[in-house]
Amino acid sequence: KRFAGQSALLAFLLIVSVPIILPYFWMIVISFTARSGGVSTDVLWTSCAVIVPAVLIYSAVHLLAPSPRVRVIAALILLVAVGALLAALVGGQLHVANYRFLWRTNIIEEIRSKATAGGQFPSVWVAFRNSLALALTQTLLILTVASLAGYYISRFAFRGREAFLQGLLVLHAFPAMTLIIPIFLILHWVGLLDTIPGVILVLTTIELPFYVFVMKGFFDAVPWDIEMSAMTDGASRRQAFRLVVLPQVRVGLIAIAVFAFIRAWEEYIFVRTMLIENKNWVMSLYLFWVSDDIMGVDYGIVAAVSVFYVLPSLLLYVFCQKYLTQMTIGGIRG
């Protein structure tokens, strides 16, 4: 009976996941098959008919097989099988011309027209560098402030503590988009408009209330006794925090780091409003200008840029997924 219930749940999840993952497969296939004339629907559906079943099979193996070795072997077998089938069915249509933006710096000028030639638009590597600086700096700031603030709120009873916690929830629930114009004016007055540090400051301030509240919950779950034991043995509060408490909330730190990085990496509205000069472009703006062409959209290049744009977030999620799915406090040793 239990096996039947698990099988029914697995079947339901697989069916629901197909329409969710299908657009991502289309994006990948289009990036390697589309030409300037457009997208071949035959190649698109043929490739998806090969890839989607393989992913569903691996999902079933991942859920049912407890051994990591079995999962790795299954993944390798499926990769070989998918590669062989794609080579046989659509091998003649595969190419990497749509990824030429990686080594041709004036690709946007080529797409939009010769009238814009002359280096008016930055290369993808400038946008990538700006996005990476934005995401990493914001993640570091959020980790530092959220961990310290969450610890203080969790461990110390100060006047107005409950009101402060309620204020954090209100700030998180408040729609930040309504503040774009006031924030724009403030950044202009302080000289941070059209700068990466200005955007980092704004995004960090907007995201912090949620992460402080999350870290407060993780610190609440760490027993006060182990911290007191460390201080009784001669450790200072700072040493107890760094050597005893922080390791217990490692999962929470990694989780908010991943979420903060992805949130900063995918940001569009605020960077579109506050970053004006082309030298300050981030990847979301680069993707917008690649796809914005009144003469017609080159879907192959747009898909290729999208794959390149998604790749860092995808890799980060793959390597940290066990922390995101568990979201529990690490075991406490006696």
CA distances 103 to 97, 118, 124, 125, 283, Å, are 11, 16, 9, 9, 16
Burial of residue 184, with CB atoms counted within 10 A of its CB: 0-12 exposed, 13-18 middle, 19 or more buried: middle
How confident is residue 290, by pLDDT bands cut at 50, 70 and 90?
Answer: confident
- Say what the pLDDT of residue 138 is: 95
- Say what the pLDDT of residue 130 is: 94
Distance CA 2, CA 115 (A): 66
DSSP code at position 333: P
pLDDT tens for each residue of 38-86: 777 788 888 888 887 887 787 777 777 767 788 788 888 988 998 888 8
- Say what the pLDDT of residue 98 is: 86
Q: Topology of 124-326 in CATH?
A: MetI-like fold (1.10.3720)
- Say what the pLDDT of residue 327 is: 59
Angle between the N-to-C axes of helices 124-155 and 161-173, in degrees from 0 to 180, rounded to the nearest 10: 150
- Say what the pLDDT of residue 307 is: 93
How confident is residue 3, by pLDDT bands cut at 50, 70 and 90?
Answer: low
Distance CA 302, CA 34 (A): 10
Domain residue spans in the chain? 2-95, 124-326
Q: In the structure encoding, which two tokens stand for residue 59, read together?
A: 């999902």
- Say what the pLDDT of residue 106 is: 74
Contact partners, residue 295, CB within 8 Å, separation at least 6: 112, 113
Contact partners, residue 258, CB within 8 Å, separation at least 6: 316, 317, 320, 323, 324
Over pLDDT 90: what percentage of the chain?
19
Q: In the structure encoding, which two tokens stand for residue 224, read together?
A: 């006060």
Tally of CA atoms within 13 A in the half-sphere of 156 that contains its CB = 11
Average pLDDT over residues 10-21: 76
- Say what the pLDDT of residue 4 is: 65
pLDDT tens for each residue of 100-152: 888 887 776 666 654 444 456 778 899 999 999 999 999 999 999 999 989 98
User: Do the beta carbons of residue 204 and residue 193 sit within 8 Å?
Assistant: no
